[in-house]
Structures are given as structure tokens and as C-alpha cells.
């Protein structure tokens, strides 16, 4: 979805190797990893940030290899779900930054176009989450209420 409005051809970047078990040097205690996930979510971290902290500070390279499920699934089992999914929230934060920039720089046509593209991605992603039942179907993006929605 990131290349939706760009002329790029194909997908570049590295892929994760096919591994079915955690390395022997990693932390593989399921109960400890679950407790770490819950404590980090209590500190206000999202699923992606929890994964980075577990990788960098607690020697858990991949939670799925240890627990057999994703971090967001562990949070959902414990009834800890954010109001908006992480990717939608990051798009809302980007739109908010662009709006604040355009308030100070009214003639910046390039960033005005980027705001339109970001809002288009935001609406499209919200429509997807509404169809999957992860968001309420009556939610709509409104530029005026964006400050209230973003934490």
C-alpha cells in the first residue's frame, strides 16, 4: 500500500529467512515473553514498538517463533486493543503533521498534494478495517477532529 501513489515498479528490500524454531541463544520462555508484552503495552507502547523492544533489549528475535502467535494476538487475548490500529494511527499522525506544516506554509503545493494522498490512503485503510469489523462502521475521517483522534 505504500507504493499506491508512486511510479515504483515491484517490491524491493530484504525478506525474513524461513525459520521454524527460535535460535538457541534467544529468550524462549513463553510465560516471561507474554508478561513482557503485557507490561510494555501497559507502558503505552504499540505492537510494533513492543516487537522492537523485545528484539533489542530482551533477546527475542521473533515473538511468533516463541509463542506461535503475533504480538497483537497476545494483546487481543488479554483484552488490550488500541482504539485504532497502528498503521491507521501512523497515517493520522502523518496527516496531522502535514496539516500543521500547511498552516504555517500556505503556498507549499507539494505538501498539499502529499496531504491529499495521505488522506486517500487513510480513508482506504479505514474502509478495509470497517469491512473486516476491526473499526466501527460509522467512523469517518474528518480533518477538524484529527487532533482529538491522535493521542
The predicted-structure confidence for 40-76, as pLDDT tens digits, reads as follows: 999 989 899 999 999 999 989 999 999 999 999 999 9
> How many CB atoms sit inside 10 A of residue 132's CB?
9
Of 77, 108, 138, which marks where a domain is finished? 77
Of 18, 42, 77, which marks where a domain is finished? 77
- Both 70 and 96 in one domain: the answer is no
CATH code, domain carrying 111:
1.10.287.10
Q: What are phi and psi of 26, to 5 degrees?
A: -85, 165
Q: What is the pLDDT of residues 11-43, one digit of tens each?
A: 777 887 888 888 888 888 899 999 999 999 999
Q: Are 147 and 124 in contact (CB under 8 A)?
A: no
The set of cell numbers assigned to 49 is: 514498538
Residue 15 resides in a domain? no
- For residue 92, the enclosing domain spans 86-149
Q: How many domains is the chain partitioned into structurally? A: 2
- Both 94 and 127 in one domain: the answer is yes
Count the alpha carbons within 13 Å of 44 in the hemisphere toward its beta carbon.
1
Residue 6 resides in a domain? no
Residue 44 resides in a domain? yes
pLDDT at 151 over 70: no
Residue 140 resides in a domain? yes
Residue 50 resides in a domain? yes
- Both 101 and 143 in one domain: the answer is yes
Q: What is the pLDDT of residues 80-125, one digit of tens each?
A: 888 888 899 999 999 999 999 999 999 999 999 999 999 999 999 9
Residue 18 resides in a domain? no
pTM strictly above 0.75 = yes
Own/partner long-range contacts of 76-85 (Cβ < 8 Å, ≥24 apart): 78/38, 80/38, 80/41, 82/46, 84/135, 84/149, 85/129, 85/134, 85/135
Taking CA atoms, 124 is separated from 5, 16, 20, 51, 114, in Å, by 13, 28, 34, 26, 15
Residue 144 resides in a domain? yes
Residue 11 resides in a domain? no
Amino acid at each position: 500500500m505504500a507504493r499506491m501513489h508512486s511510479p515504483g515498479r515491484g517490491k524491493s528490500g530484504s525478506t525474513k529467512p524461513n525459520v521454524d524454531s527460535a535460535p538457541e541463544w534467544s529468550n524462549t520462555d513463553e510465560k516471561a515473553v507474554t508478561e513482557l508484552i503485557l507490561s510494555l503495552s501497559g507502558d503505552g507502547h504499540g505492537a510494533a514498538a513492543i516487537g522492537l523492544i523485545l528484539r533489542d533489549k530482551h533477546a527475542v528475535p521473533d515473538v511468533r517463533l516463541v509463542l506461535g502467535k503475533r504480538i497483537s494476538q497476545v494483546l487481543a487475548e488479554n483484552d488490550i486493543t488500541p482504539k485504532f490500529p497502528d498503521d491507521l494511527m501512523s497515517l493520522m499522525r502523518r496527516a496531522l503533521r502535514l496539516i500543521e506544516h500547511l498552516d504555517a506554509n500556505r503556498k507549499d503545493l507539494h505538501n498539499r498534494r502529499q496531504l491529499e494522498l495521505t488522506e486517500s490512503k487513510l480513508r482506504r485503510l479505514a474502509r478495509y478495517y470497517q469491512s473486516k469489523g476491526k473499526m466501527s462502521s460509522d467512523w469517518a475521517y474528518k480533518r477538524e477532529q484529527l487532533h482529538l483522534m491522535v493521542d
